[in-house]
């Protein structure tokens, strides 16, 4: 019995030791951020430890706080140097950074501090409909205007260029002739909710 108790304590110690702390970065509504937080809420190995925004009134901050996740925002000039943001990431012992609707470029010092440890989700099949100014509904509008027959999501590593890091996973869906901005956006969000958390989990613990 005593041996078993020791063994359990040892396992708990190593689980704590191995735990990966994620920061989720988002600029607006934050439905993906909330979905990721909920997905990992009772995960043994992955903890969403921090939510960061570049807008102090972003609704994602409220979502995070309602789920008891620390949530902070940094001003525009803090994103140009990246110094304070990096201090925040270090303070919360962040191992891995997940962008979920985050609309500004990641500062170089953070890219260097987290090589191959920053990922993004984009609501189209990159390289189509990517690049500066292509985010959220603008992407879906462009897809509809181009008369595309399919769209989807791309999960990729982040580098210094918008939407150009190595692709990790793409998932396609049809674009219907009856689609509106709302129906297409909804279909893409459903794909994001279904696949983003499990891709993060695979990258971090290989399940």
User: Binding residues for ligand GAR, per CB under 6 A?
Assistant: 26, 28-32, 100-101, 121-123, 135-136, 139, 188-189, 192
Strands (E), the chain: 20-25, 46-53, 71-73, 96-99, 118-122, 150-157, 167-174
The answer to whether 167 and 154 have CB atoms below 8 angstroms apart is yes
- Which residue number, 92 or 195, has a Cβ lying nearer to ligand GAR? 195
Closest distance between ligand GAR and the C-beta of residue 145, in Å?
Answer: 16
- Which residue number, 82 or 130, has a Cβ lying nearer to ligand GAR? 130
Residues 6+ apart with CB under 8 A from 13: none
Closest distance between ligand GAR and the C-beta of residue 102, in Å?
Answer: 7
- Which residue number, 45 or 171, has a Cβ lying nearer to ligand GAR? 171
- Which residue number, 45 or 73, has a Cβ lying nearer to ligand GAR? 73
User: How many whole angstroms separate alpha carbon 22 and alpha carbon 119?
Assistant: 11
* Structure tokens belonging to residue 175: 């674009």
Q: Which residue is nearest to ligand GAR (CB)?
A: 101
Other CB atoms within 10 Å distance of the CB of residue 177: 7
112 is an active site residue:
no
> Which DSSP symbol is given to 166?
P
Q: Which of 122, 140, 161, 189 is catalytic?
A: 122
Closest distance between ligand GAR and the C-beta of residue 26, in Å?
Answer: 6
Q: Which residues are catalytic?
A: 122
């Amino acid at each position: 019995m005593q041996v078993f108790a020791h063994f359990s304590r040892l396992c708990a110690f190593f689980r704590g030791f191995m735990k990966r702390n994620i920061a989720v970065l988002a600029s607006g509504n934050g439905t993906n951020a909330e979905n990721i937080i909920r997905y990992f809420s009772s995960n043994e190995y992955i903890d969403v430890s921090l939510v960061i925004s570049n807008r102090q009134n972003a609704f994602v901050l409220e979502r995070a706080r309602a789920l008891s996740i620390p949530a902070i925002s940094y001003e525009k000039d803090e994103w140009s140097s990246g110094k304070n943001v990096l201090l925040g990431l270090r303070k919360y012992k962040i191992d891995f950074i997940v962008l979920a609707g985050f609309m500004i470029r990641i500062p170089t010092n953070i890219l260097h501090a987290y090589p191959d440890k920053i990922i993004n989700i984009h609501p189209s099949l990159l390289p189509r409909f990517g690049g500066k100014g292509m985010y959220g509904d603008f992407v879906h509008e462009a897809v509809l205007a181009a008369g595309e027959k399919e769209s989807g999501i791309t999960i990729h590593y982040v580098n210094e260029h918008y939407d150009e890091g190595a692709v990790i996973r793409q998932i396609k869906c049809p674009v219907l002739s009856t689609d509106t901005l709302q129906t297409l956006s909804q279909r893409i969000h459903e794909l994001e909710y279904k696949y983003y958390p499990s891709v993060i989990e695979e990258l971090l613990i290989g399940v």
